[in-house]
Structure 1
Amino acid sequence: MKKELFNDEIFDEKIYQETKRKYELMAESLPDLLASISAEGLPTDWKFIESITHNEGAFREWVERQREERQKGKFLTVSEIQRSADELNEFYSRLAPDVNAIRRMRIERLPLIPVDDSIAVDMEKVDELARKEATTKVDATKMQSYWEQVNKVVEAINDLKEYEEKNGLPDSTFNPASISMGMDGVYMTPPNLSVTQFKDKFSTPEQFQDIYKNTFKKN
């Protein structure tokens, strides 16, 4: 029975650790963000936080509604209206960075859950999301079938290299354009021919003969 070389799932430990750490840093900063909001006299329960972070303009719209509520059914002088507007603008400016930070967390899919009158991060869900991000599901059967075809080329190149070294022949994969003289001296391009270049270079016996006629010249 043919040995299976590939798994149906590929797990990248580096991506897992990086993703998990990204969420952990968000979780560590969340309490301070909520404390800033609470210090301004606002609630920090999920319903309110969701309402001011569900889109980019949500918090500004909420502040504008507060301005309208203050003026509803009241007579206010021009100076009072201006003072109220200035106060709310300052309030918005103080809290907007913290509110936007939470909004970005939601965009990054940080798993937030309601806890009493506040919110917290579901760390079990964080681990689940990190593992999902680090896992790639593949068709292992098709991958192995393709690998077997590619490996034929790899083995053929290895055999060619071994033959060239054994018989003192030049490296047929060498790219002459890899060493060129520029204005600033020698500069490098890829030292080996690409597969397409190799195939084009040796596509016919006539081309092969023209390239190697001096190599195999008889004295």
Structure 2
Amino acid sequence: MNHEFMILAETGEEEIFYCTNCDFAVKKDLVPVKVEDKCPNCQSDLIKSKAIEVGHIFQLGTKYSDSMQAYFLNKEGNSKPFIMRCYGFGVTRLLSAAIEQKHYENQITWPIQISPFKFHMILINSHKEKLKQIAEELYQYLLKNNIEVLYDDREISAGIKFNDADLIGIPMIGIIGNQILKTKEIEIKNKIKNKKDLILKEDLLDYITTESNI
């Protein structure tokens, strides 16, 4: 017996049928199913879809435990072989599936749980020393509080930085610009909740921590 774990994705290499009402699903190449067929569990409609396989579990039985003499004593004191199973996860497929689940034209958003950084900080007008000083202090402060930060202080146009940020896909982007000099506020592009916020710089750590705990 084996079970495969799939994520629905238009770019997937697998074809599956799944029930619209219960948790029944089956691979097209394993069972001869047609779209007009009904779910064998609840008689609801089936939907055909592309999918990415991200996990696989199957029973090994006692084949390897017998050959390795891997035994245990049961409650009667008798020697028995362990019943073994195998659990596999496709790490690269998980990344593909994560991108597939939340992407838009020319941009992606990593799930916060696997994002390489929690926060992407973009410094605008990096030639201004005061802004640079504030950004550097914030960067060091966040690092000391165990927040992984991608800090972009390159001396290039803001547009290129924003485009790169969308392509990289860190779920929270903070813009350090003239706004912080006027009102001490940072503009946050929160891609987790698809919104923009203005946050006082002293509240930034709490904001990132709260929004990351989803």
Normalised to the residue count of structure 1, the TM-score between the two structures is 0.26
The structure having more radius of gyration, on CA atoms, is: 1
Normalised to the residue count of structure 2, the TM-score between the two structures is 0.26
Of Structure 1 and Structure 2, the greater strand share is in 2
Of Structure 1 and Structure 2, the greater helix share is in 1
Bigger relative contact order, structure 1 or 2 (CA pairs below 8 A, ≥6 apart): 1
